[in-house]
Structure 1
Amino acid sequence: MRVLADYDTILEKLSLGQLWDFPGGVHPIQQKDMSNQSLIQKLPLPSHIYIPVKQHIGVEGEIVVNVGDRVLHGQALTRNFNTFALPVHASSSGTVVSIGEHPAAHPSGLSELTICIELDGLHESLATNGVHDYANKDKSDIINAICQAGISGMGGAGFPTHIKSTNVKPIEFLVINGIECEPYITSDDRLMREHAWQIRQGIDILVHILSPKQVIVAIEDNKPEAYETMAIACQQQSDYQVIKVPTKYPAGGEKQLIQVLTSREVPADGLPIDVGCMMYNVGTCFAIADAVIEGKPLTQRVVTITGGAIEKPQNVWAPIGTPIIDLLRFAQYAQEKQAHPKIIMGGPMMGFTLASAKIPVVKTTNCILAPAQHELADASNERACIRCSACADACPQSLLPQQLFWYSKAKEYDTAQEYNLFDCIECGACAYVCPSEIPLVHYYRQAKTNIKQQEQEKAQAEKARVRFEARKMRLEKEKFEREEKHRKAAEARKQAMTSDGGAAKDKIAAALARAKAKKAAKSETNSPVSAAKDESTLNTSNVGETTNSTVQTAEPKNEQATETSSAQDDKKKRVAQAVARAKAKKLAKSEEPEPATTSNTKEKEAETTNDKALEKSSDEASAQDDKKKRVAQAIARAKAKKLAKAKAAQEQTNNDKPNDEGANE
């Protein structure tokens, strides 16, 4: 393992102007003189601005405005409900006209959630409250102010600055990145020339938050004016050093610059803080000073407009959300200088071609490049790899771009990851030196996107599997608990019956006896007298509603009832005679001495049982006979009464019509 240079050794070498180097790298044509000769211009306000809800690494904020709302410059359009969320703000005053999908500033050209504001041209702003005595404020308050201003890394990565600033590890070197190594881009150069003091204020705020031992402001040696202004701005601070770095691409990369300044290599899966360093872009420092001292959120940034197809290359203050077409018009874009319209966001090395000129400026937009025909290599001229190894020599990460290209193109993603695909910083040095003009970075980006998508799908599938297994276990547990509960209840009942012994059986028998007694009592309440009375009443009430034909049909029923009654009388007589014989026999046996044998005892018990049965039958027959007699008598009385009333009615009317008005009784 390589031993890191200690703090004192690094300071000594820096004071002598001695630096280290990183492997690989290229020296492309700079083309910076095209746009760095004039002051930063103020871009006129467009008619509409398009504010993407998510412009940083992390998650999007929650929208707090609605269509039709009027907003002011600096007003928050979203709120950060999550640590990795950042708010976005209106870059001018106007009315929200839509919230929906809009082409995104991304190589894919896909759409993303965007807030469209129709500007009113007034540029009315919210009142701001800065913190001039930030040195006396708590660090958490300063970090919160940075977060509410919506500041993310403006060098291109877009990592939330407030998260980066909450570091708890000790920091030896705070590195301020003013390298800007990408060809054509001069936005940081002009910002350092014109606003060095405000950048210095942002550095002071970071020192208050992070408490580093040493501050290093690194500027590439092809920016002499920026170096001089920053050296003057920082000369009052003894622990601030402004260092010239040799021009070499990609010296502005985070890992490469730390290696140049300190000789320390950031681990492949690590961060600069792991080697005692922290890095911020000069544009981020400017935005921090605006947010803390002036209280202004991040609503604009410096953008370079350059290229052979631009008549007036320059740098402009572009409001966030301004469509690219407005920047091109302002710089007099000459489309006739291109064989096919081609606009690149970023530089020629790491930038990407825009799918639409309506794509807006975002927080990470530093350059709009419109190259003339044949100014840059054409990706359509790709030829077969000749295995020259020039890409491997140029790679600053010491990777094997040729193998990564093969495996990425063949979609052998597992093998590509074994060759450290995700260590690629997508600087484009390999594609720049490739004699076959293979767009290597394009294949790497596509492979990374597919791998991330597969991992996301795998994670979702794993999450679904875990939920399914958890549900299955829960259902099985609930089933087991129910079965166990029923088993314990059954055992408790069984144990209770066993412990009670015959008492439980006696209780059951007693309960059955009570039920039978209750049933018998209920049947006794329905006596023959009440039954006959109910039947008599029913027949009597129906007499007045029937005709003479109904009376005549009742007579056969009465005769049938009389025959049934006589049969019952005969049966009753026979039962009474049997009962009398049984009683006489029982009386005779009771006068004899009691036999000692078991057989006599059984015969006696049998006879007793028979006698009881006969007595019971006799009683029941007698009760039925009495009931039937009473019923017959009631029917006879009702019939006689009905006939008498019918006869009286005939005498009164003296006609043959039947009487419909029966007597009511």
Structure 2
Amino acid sequence: MFADYDQIMERLALQQLWDFPGGVHPAEKKSLSNQSNIARLPLPDVVHIPLKQHIGVQGDVLVKVGDTVKKGQALTASENAFAVPVHASSSGEVIAIDEHVSAHPSGMSELTVTIKLDGLDTQAEFTPLTDYNKRSKSEIIEAICRAGISGMGGAGFPTHLKSNNVQPIEFLIINGIECEPYISSDDRLMREHAWQIRQGIDILCYLLNPKQVIVAVEDNKPEALETLSIACQQQDTYHVVSVPTKYPAGGEKQLIQVLTSREVPATGLPVDVGCLMYNVGTCYAIADAVMEGKPLIERVVTLTGEALSAPKNVWARLGTPIKHLLKHAGYESEKQSYPRIIMGGPMMGFTLSSVQVPVVKTTNCILVPAKGELPLVEDERACIRCSACADACPASLLPQQMFWHSKAKEYDKAQEYNLFDCIECGACAYVCPSEIPLVHYYRKAKADIRQQRVEKERAEKARIRFEARQERLLKEKQAREEKHRLAAQARQKAMKTDGGAAKDKIAAALARAKAKKAALAKQSDSAQTLNDSKANDE
């Protein structure tokens, strides 16, 4: 039985929280990068801005090759609600609009605007809404959409859609957990910009009108916890809560369960249990968009790993090639057996296919491990059926069964074990003694299933079009036959209406034909008689 509102508030006041099943405690390794302030890097020579960096649809391109653009200028726009614009992260000239390697595990190319920067960083005109509480909510939501903000905690869901919620909200949860090892971008953001995060929370409260705000920070971030507590101390409905360190406590469903005991249904959303959740980075971006009029053109990225001589957190312009970041973090390739660059953390990240991959809105970390620092895919051995993966799963799934069916491409059976409930946190792979990259198999299976669904949908649409055509041809045939039938009926009716007159006409016509035939026969006989007479005279 889930706790009601009063019970939850009681336990929050006592700092007594709930827990979620499973979870692991990997080595944190955050001290590699969280000891210094967020740094500013020199601008790169070029930026590659992918046109789609969120869950939704791609906007229409507003620029063409040869155009000069300013920092913050919109590059795309669309009337579709699921479209989020992208912006030039600095000033320069558009030199290409074509396919470029993407920030995706597949390494596939996607449509990208490439800008050669001029180094001037000339800014477009921004329109702040500092008096946002005197404006309509729709105007604020439009400003958030115009700024191109999507969830910066990893999912990339359009923030303006999430903020346009009309259902009653009991708890607005601000996620400052950042539970994955190595990553410290949110930690430094909370330490250095707690007040602006608080401004973003204020704006969300104006839009959503929640009963309470819960700001959740893991207890391994005492400085961030303190700065946010100070920033929020004047608001009675804001509660900054210390959450016990356990991976993946930062998962949306897991954090809701820890704070409220409520479980989000498998096919449901947090709003179904009276909650909405935003990442602290998203709150910061919302404050930027509303208070400064600034679109989302940069974010904090952790550069870490033992193959970097100067790990740190940096403000990275969107579109910056990873190669540029590595250069300023002291990449030492000799410390690796082979080049291995991971976007994200060791649990949920993926290996990049190229150092030309750009920073996107969901990029929170670039991890460069030294030799022996992380397990390799080649280390995979046979499953020993120990069930350690099931014990560690925070979603209470059976990873072993999902692995077998995914590997065998028995996707129907994999889905019977709730494959799509997997949050791909990597806890199962972390505890696997056989070093099996379980999440890799799940991602591959999900991708294949989605592709099958797309193909099935296309086939279904083709079938519907074919059947519609057949039905149309049948209707046309039936219409022609009906037309002929009605014409025949009309003729029959006309004959019946005319009565004897029609019969007389037919009889007269027959008589004329008979008379004509008789006349022709008589003429023929006369001609023959004449010929015979001439022959006799000779």
Equivalent residue number for residue 637 of structure 1: none
How many pairs were matched up? Answer: 522
Counterpart check, 1:381 vs 2:374? no
Amino acid at match of 1:457: E
Equivalent position SS for 2:30: coil
* Aligned twin of 1:444: 442
Of 26, 29, 32, 1:31 maps to 29
After TM superposition, the runs of 4+ consecutive aligned structure 1 residues lying more than 3 A away are 504-514
> Where do 1:202-241 residues align within 5 Å?
202-241=200-239
Q: Deviations over 1:494-538 (max 9, x none)?
A: 101111123335567899999xxxxxxxxxxxxxxxxxxxxxxxx
Map residues 359-438 of structure 1 onto 2, 5 A cutoff: 359-438=357-436
Instruction: Provide Cα deviations, 1:291-310, integer angstroms capped at 9, x if missing partner.
Output: 11111110000000010001
Q: Given residue 257 of structure 1, which amino acid in structure 2 is its aligned partner?
A: L
What is the distance in 2 between the residues matched to 1:503 and 1:47? 99
Choose the corresponding residue for 1:144, options 121, 125, 142.
142
Quote the residue 2:343 is aligned against.
345
1:336 maps to 334
Partner residue in 1 for 2:132: 134
Match of 1:55 in 2: 53
**Equivalents in 1 of 2:281, 2:239: separation in Å?**
18
Deviation sequence 1:152-196 (CA, Å, 0-9, x none): 000011011111111111100000000000100000011011111
Give me the whole-angstrom Cα distance separating, in 2, the residues matched to 1:503 and 1:92. 95
Question: Which structure is higher in RCO with an 8 Å CA cutoff and minimum separation 6?
Answer: 2
Amino acid at match of 1:408: S
For residues 305-344 of structure 1, the aligned pairs below 5 Å read: 305-344=303-342
Cα offset, 1:83, TM superposition: 1.4
Q: Distance in 2 between matches of 1:324 and 1:464?
A: 43
Q: Provide the residue aligned with 1:630 in structure 2.
A: none
Alignment of 1:544-583 (within 5 A): none
Rounded Cα–Cα distance in structure 2 between residues aligned with 1:507 and 1:199:
100
Mapped partners of 1:184, 1:324: distance in 2: 17
Q: Which amino acid aligns with 1:142?
A: I
Counterpart of 1:449 in 2: which secondary structure? helix
Give per-residue Cα distances to partners, 1:555-598, cap 9 Å, x unaligned.
xxxxxxxxxxxxxxxxxxxxxxxxxxxxxxxxxxxxxxxxxxxx
What letter matches 1:63 in structure 2? V
Does the 8 A contact of 1:342 with 1:354 survive in 2? yes
Is the 1:391–1:430 contact (alpha carbons within 8 Å) kept by the matching residues of 2?
yes
Radius of gyration: which is bigger? Answer: 1
Q: Which residue of 2 aligns with 1:272?
A: 270
1:200 to 198, 201, 214: 198
Q: Is the 8 A contact 1:392 1:400 kept in 2?
A: yes
In structure 2, how many angstroms separate the alpha carbons of the residues matched to 1:217 and 1:286? 14
Measured in 2, the distance between the counterparts of 1:460 and 1:69 equals 38
Given the alignment of the two structures, is residue 14 of structure 1 paired with residue 12 of structure 2, yes or no? yes
Corresponding residue number in structure 2 for 1:161:
159
Read off the aligned partner of 1:282 and give its amino acid letter. V
Specify the alignment match of 1:599 in structure 2: none
Equivalent residue number for residue 191 of structure 1: 189
Range with bigger deviation, 505-514 or 184-193: 505-514
**Cα distance in 2 for residues equivalent to 1:129 and 1:258:** 35
State the partner residue of 2:498: 500
The CA distance in 2 between the partners of 1:30 and 1:44, in whole Å, is 29
What is the rounded CA distance, in whole Å, between the counterparts of 1:228 and 1:508 in structure 2? 111
Cα distance in 1, alignment partners of residues 416 and 66 from structure 2:
52
What is the TM-score normalised by the length of structure 1? 0.76
Q: Which runs of 5+ in 2 are unaligned?
A: 513-517, 531-538
Say which structure is richer in helix: 1
Q: Secondary structure at the match of 2:175?
A: strand
Residue 550 (structure 1) aligns with: none
* Deviations 1:222-250, CA, capped at 9 Å, x for gaps: 10110111011111110000000000000
Is the Cα contact below 8 Å between 1:62 and 1:81 reproduced in 2?
A: no
What is the one-letter code of the residue matched to 1:155? G
Aligned amino acid, residue 468 of structure 1: F
240 and 513 in structure 1: CA distance in 2 versus 1, 3 angstrom threshold: farther
Query: Is 1:111 aligned to 2:109, yes or no?
Result: yes
Question: Could you tell me which amino acid in structure 1 is paired with residue 269 of structure 2?
Answer: L
SS in 1 for 2:482: helix
| 1:291 is the counterpart of 2:289 | yes
Secondary structure of 2:49's match? Answer: strand
Separation in 1, partners of 2:267, 2:229: 34
The whole-number CA distance in structure 1 between the counterparts of 2:451 and 2:2 is 37
* Unpaired segments ≥5 residues, structure 1: 515-608, 622-665
* SS of equivalent residue, structure 1 residue 495: helix
**Residue 201 of structure 2 aligns to which amino acid in structure 1?**
I
Contact 1:258–1:264, Cα closer than 8 Å, also in 2: yes
One-letter amino acid matched to 1:263: S
Structure 1 counterpart of 2:375, one-letter code: A
Instruction: Provide the rounded CA distance (Å) in 2 between the counterparts of 1:36 and 1:261.
Output: 26
Deviations 1:298-356 (A, max 9, x none): 00000000100011111111000000000000111111110111000000000000000
TM-fit CA distance, 1:81: 2.8
Report the Cα distance in structure 2 between the residues aligned to 1:140 and 1:81, rounded to whole angstroms.
Answer: 15
**Tell me, what secondary structure is at the counterpart of 1:33?**
helix
Structure 2 partner of 1:259? 257
Q: Which residue of 1 aligns with 2:535?
A: none
Per-residue deviation at 1:80? 2.2
Give how far 1:70 is off: 0.8
How far has the Cα of 1:284 moved from its partner?
0.2
Contact 1:91 1:321 (C-alpha < 8 Å) held by counterparts: yes
Say yes or no: does 1:473 pair with 2:475.
no
- Distance in 2 (CA, whole Å) between partners of 1:15 and 1:80 is 45
